[in-house]
């Protein structure tokens, strides 16, 4: 009997202790998951968690430092804790599934791949729906474009950072060839390439291509030369495709190929291989995007002295349009934000602040869209050339165009340009090939509904703002 009582007591004590331990564990889990939505017992401020999702891994370290400071200062004062999550290549699938389940965060990075679908599906809300949103939008007045930031008259995204386009010069090879001035026109580019190649004795060449990477045709040729034609393939004034406007630059590059001024074997090179040749000091000139400063400073540290200049013009009169830049949005607003509208706006404002963008600029992570942010920087960017790519005071944002919304018969524009350089159209002049491409693209364009095409129209103010003079 005594043994039975002792066993019963032991069992009861074990159960009691287990209950206490379980209660303790449950409480800790709750704190870990829900502490941001509990009241701060010292101040009486209700802390709420604002979730932010992104796939911008390259800026994670600095961003986390900024967020930590926010959480410990402004966040504590206003009852906000930012929960920041960085995803990898699975980001788009993750955010889409979360939105479909109603589990998307208050703020997340919108991409062109799903922005329109999210707007149409009601997964995003206009920034103006947040208290203070209109004042933030006003800072970007005159720069917001339809089908990229504005949908059906409402603003869903704001430009944060830029990809800009310039021209990179190997100073050593220019000096070796006896060229005193850097080229200002594409005719001068071709002549400089010839002189550099002649002085290179079969080891150095004026120009390089990488036909295994089709994106080089747009990133290094059509987009940069928007400053010379006023668009990047689709003319928003005529609402037609006009790739033929790029004939002067395509002819100049084809001329360099015919002259023997292009690094041999370019048909088999990809972008990395082409840029590696420049970094080795074997190439005189190469177009560049702002992300290439990372290439020539870190990925393939350049062994030559190099500098950055503006995109050459088609004529000696200079470029008639402003410099084209590709703008990327940082965050969009999810429907979950409406339950915490004021605090979500505080976080959105924090992320878009000029002070934070200035730090990103100093670390060569972003070229801020707002010049005000660049002006706040207290030091030069850490990467060589980054400040030169950021020097675009007279810029415009590239406009979205409907090439991905149509089905074109025959080769797409990048492939057509690549075939010109590969010699597959040597029996035709460049202008004829490009004019035929315009015809094919515009024939496909006519199959769009008026409503679909209307979405790509821009205001007269935006289009007039493209002109440099």
Q: How far is CA 37 from CA 83, 407, 413, in A?
A: 12, 50, 52
CB 208 within 8 A of CB 272: no
HSE (CB half, 13 Å, CA atoms) of 314?
19
Q: What is the pLDDT of residue 38?
A: 53
Q: How far is CA 272 from the centre of its chain?
A: 19
Q: Looking at the domain assignment, is residue 268 inside a domain? A: yes
Query: Are 169 and 76 contained in the same domain?
Result: no
Q: Looking at the domain assignment, is residue 297 inside a domain? A: yes
Q: What is the pLDDT of residue 45?
A: 83
Query: Are 235 and 304 contained in the same domain?
Result: yes
Q: Looking at the domain assignment, is residue 111 inside a domain? A: yes
Distance CA 5, CA 250 (A): 96
Q: How far is CA 232 from CA 218, 288, 396, 402, 421, in A?
A: 8, 16, 12, 12, 19
Query: Are 55 and 124 contained in the same domain?
Result: yes
Give the predicted TM-score (pTM) of the model.
0.89
Distance CA 427, CA 406 (A): 29
Q: What is the pLDDT of residue 40?
A: 57
Distance CA 243, CA 439 (A): 10
Q: Looking at the domain assignment, is residue 442 inside a domain? A: yes
Query: Are 266 and 402 contained in the same domain?
Result: yes
Domain that holds residue 226: 163-322+398-464
Q: What is the pLDDT of residue 457?
A: 93
What is the number of domains present in the chain? 2
Query: Are 303 and 218 contained in the same domain?
Result: yes
Query: Are 318 and 336 contained in the same domain?
Result: no
Q: Looking at the domain assignment, is residue 28 inside a domain? A: no
**Ramachandran area for residue 439 (φ above 0: left; ψ -120 to 50: alpha; else beta):** alpha
The burial of 188, by beta-carbon neighbours within 10 Å (0-12 exposed, 13-18 middle, 19 or more buried), is given as middle
Query: Are 251 and 303 contained in the same domain?
Result: yes
Query: Are 199 and 305 contained in the same domain?
Result: yes
From first to last of its 469 residues, what are the pLDDT tens digits of the chain?
434 444 443 444 443 333 333 333 333 222 233 344 555 556 678 999 999 999 999 999 999 999 999 999 999 999 999 999 999 999 999 999 999 999 999 999 999 889 999 999 999 999 999 999 999 999 999 999 999 999 999 999 999 999 999 999 999 999 999 999 999 999 999 999 999 999 999 999 999 999 999 999 999 999 999 999 999 999 999 999 999 999 999 999 999 999 999 999 999 999 999 999 999 999 999 999 999 999 999 999 999 999 999 999 999 999 999 999 999 999 999 999 999 999 999 999 999 999 999 999 999 999 999 999 999 999 999 999 999 999 998 999 999 999 999 999 999 999 999 999 999 999 999 999 999 999 999 999 999 999 999 999 999 999 999 999 6
Query: Are 426 and 459 contained in the same domain?
Result: yes
The 3-state secondary structure of 165-193, one letter per residue: EEEEEEHHHHHHCCCCCCCCEHHHHHHHH
Query: Are 334 and 253 contained in the same domain?
Result: no
Q: Looking at the domain assignment, is residue 34 inside a domain? A: no
CB 357 within 8 A of CB 116: no
Give the torsion sign (CA, 92, 361, 367, 67).
positive
Query: Are 178 and 285 contained in the same domain?
Result: yes
Residue 304, domain CATH: 3.40.190.10
Query: Are 235 and 310 contained in the same domain?
Result: yes
Q: Looking at the domain assignment, is residue 101 inside a domain? A: yes
Q: Looking at the domain assignment, is residue 364 inside a domain? A: no
CB 50 within 8 A of CB 83: yes
């Amino acid at each position: 009997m005594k043994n039975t009582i002792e066993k019963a007591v032991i069992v009861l004590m074990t159960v009691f202790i287990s209950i206490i331990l379980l209660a303790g564990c449950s409480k800790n889990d709750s704190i870990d998951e829900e502490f941001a939505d509990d009241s701060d017992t010292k101040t009486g401020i209700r802390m709420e968690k604002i979730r932010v999702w992104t796939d911008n891994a390259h800026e994670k370290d600095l961003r986390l430092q900024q967020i930590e400071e926010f959480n410990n200062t402004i966040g504590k004062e206003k009852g906000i804790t930012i929960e920041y999550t960085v995803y990898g290549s699975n980001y788009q699938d993750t955010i889409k599934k979360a939105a479909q389940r109603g589990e998307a965060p208050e703020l997340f990075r919108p991409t062109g791949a799903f922005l329109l679908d999210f707007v149409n599906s009601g997964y995003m809300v206009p920034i103006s729906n947040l208290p203070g949103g209109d004042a933030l939008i006003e800072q970007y007045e005159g720069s917001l474009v339809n089908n990229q930031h504005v949908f059906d008259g409402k603003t869903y995204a704001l430009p944060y950072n830029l990809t800009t386009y310039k021209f990179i010069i190997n100073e050593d090879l220019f000096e070796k060839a006896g060229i005193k001035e850097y080229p200002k026109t594409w005719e001068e580019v071709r002549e400089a390439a010839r002189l550099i190649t002649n002085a290179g004795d079969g080891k150095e060449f004026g120009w390089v291509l990488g036909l295994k990477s089709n994106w080089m045709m747009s990133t290094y040729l059509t987009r940069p030369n928007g400053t010379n034609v006023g668009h990047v393939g689709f003319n928003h004034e005529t609402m037609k495709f006009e790739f033929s406007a790029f004939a002067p630059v395509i002819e100049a590059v084809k001329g360099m190929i015919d002259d023997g001024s292009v690094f041999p074997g370019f048909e088999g090179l990809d972008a990395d291989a082409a840029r590696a040749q420049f970094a080795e000091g074997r190439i005189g000139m190469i177009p560049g995007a702002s992300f290439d400063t990372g290439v020539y400073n870190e990925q393939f540290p350049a062994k030559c002295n190099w500098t950055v200049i503006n995109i050459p013009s088609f004529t000696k009169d200079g470029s008639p349009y402003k410099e084209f830049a590709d703008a990327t949005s940082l965050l969009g607003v999810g429907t979950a934000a409406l339950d915490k509208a004021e605090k979500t706006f505080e976080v959105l404002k924090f992320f878009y602040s000029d002070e934070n963008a200035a730090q990103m600029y100093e670390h060569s992570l972003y070229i801020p869209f707002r010049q005000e942010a660049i002006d706040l920087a207290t030091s030069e960017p850490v990467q060589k050339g980054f400040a030169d790519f950021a020097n675009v005071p007279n810029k415009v944002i590239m406009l979205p165009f409907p090439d991905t919304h149509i089905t074109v018969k025959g080769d797409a524009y990048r492939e057509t340009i690549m075939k010109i350089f590969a010699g597959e159209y040597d029996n035709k002049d460049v202008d004829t090939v490009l004019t035929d491409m315009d015809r094919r693209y515009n024939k496909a364009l006519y199959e769009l509904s008026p409503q679909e095409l209307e979405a790509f129209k821009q205001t007269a103010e935006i289009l007039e703002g493209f002109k440099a003079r």
